[in-house]
Amino acid sequence: MFSENHKTAGVAYPKGFKAAGVRAGIKKSGNLDVAVIYTEKTANVAGVFTQNLVAAAPVRVSKIVVGTGTAHGVVANAGCANACTGEQGLRDAEMMAEIAAKELNCRQDDIIVASTGVIGVNLPMDKMETGIKKAVAELSEEGSVNAGNAIITTDTYSKACATEIEIGGKEVRFGAIAKGSGMIRPNMATMLCFITTDIDIDQKLLQEALSEINEVTFNMVSVDGDMSTNDMVVVLANGAAGNEKITEKNSDYEKFYSTLKNICTEIAKRIAADGEGATKFLTIKVSGAENFDDAKKVGMSVANSPLVKTAFFGEDPNWGRVICAVGYSGVKIVPEKTVIKFGDIPVYAHSVGAKYDESALRKVMSDKNIVVGIELGLGDSEAEIWTCDFSYEYVKINGEYHT
């Protein structure tokens, strides 16, 4: 699905997009920390944002931009979240947009702003201004890798992908960069994700598609159960592909929708797998629920359990911790109908532990990628949640990450 040849192009792969990432000195590490993504051709924009009521200043500003329906670019930084910074923080977020707009010769409300890093610290606006101007000067079709690296915090790598499809005889391209590793919890996962495409599509359809897809991709990720103040996923569609504009839910729309969903799914899984200190990537598959919401609640209860996560880190097939989390999920379950599997091996069935081949189960538990199956036996609905284990390194990373 995703071309390795185009992966490095990322958000600059679709026609008309450029990107850059530079060092501005906001991160103490001295690594890249300011990114700019730009399209000269006006793009329709869609976005979804954190549901944390303590939303950071850039989230508040960017919601207004998405509300206008169009945008020309994104300016983002790492090293400072600009969250819980009061009116000064709001002015700083607006200033980020103002500086970028002036450099890019567009309106201030055409610039999405995003920040990630330590909460409760004001942005160093002198460094930010220098960084934005430098990034704009370095915008290029080869700039996506630097842009991706400029938004990461505790990530071990920048998440990026690019692909293309054919719609109406026209090549339509997609690209993405994202960050996310800790303070990850759905509604949404703690992250920044920027997706670009040169498709021509109605803005309302674009927003509807992203909102729907977010529910079954990014909102199905949990690393540690903590919900950030800064999350956002933004899609820019500039129409440069030249396809007949999609204005209704026809076959072209379905093809677009499927591709966007695949991109969001891929990025969501990479975020879960790159959880802080993670040694295991866990897929929680819940089936046989009465409805989707019940299936998700059960899966999230298991995914968020520290005892479950530490058991998998220790490669201990402690199914008791899993069924315990299922039982307190708040969803009606019937133990006599419930079956839990690690890989393809039943470990709990019909209210008691199941007999299993210990050597076969040991092999499952030693794998990096493990599927936990939970069959409730109550209906036809299902949900798939992605998470990771808790390691010693997770505690170390978060014990040392402070203001």
* Residue located via tokens 């909460």: 119
* Residue located via tokens 């409805």: 291
Cis peptide before 188 (omega within 30 of 0): yes
Strands 70-78 and 34-49, bridge-based pairing: antiparallel
Phi, psi of 330 (to 5 degrees): 90, 0
What is the spatial distance between Cα 264 and Cα 343, in angstroms, rounded to a whole number?
A: 25
What is the spatial distance between Cα 82 and Cα 59, in angstroms, rounded to a whole number?
A: 10
Candidates 153, 190, 196, 259; catalytic one = 190
What is the spatial distance between Cα 218 and Cα 237, in angstroms, rounded to a whole number?
A: 20
- 34 contact partners, CB below 8 Å, separation of at least 6: 21, 22, 23, 24, 26, 75, 76, 77, 128, 131, 132, 134, 135, 150
Q: Is 153 a catalytic residue?
A: no
What is the spatial distance between Cα 160 and Cα 267, in angstroms, rounded to a whole number?
A: 7
| Helix, strand, coil percentages for the chain (3-state, nearest 5) | 35, 25, 35
Q: Which two tokens stand for residue 390?
A: 């808790």
What is the spatial distance between Cα 232 and Cα 193, in angstroms, rounded to a whole number?
A: 6
Is residue 218 a contact partner of residue 36, using CB atoms and an 8 Å limit?
A: no
What is the spatial distance between Cα 13 and Cα 9, in angstroms, rounded to a whole number?
A: 5
Q: Which residues are catalytic?
A: 190
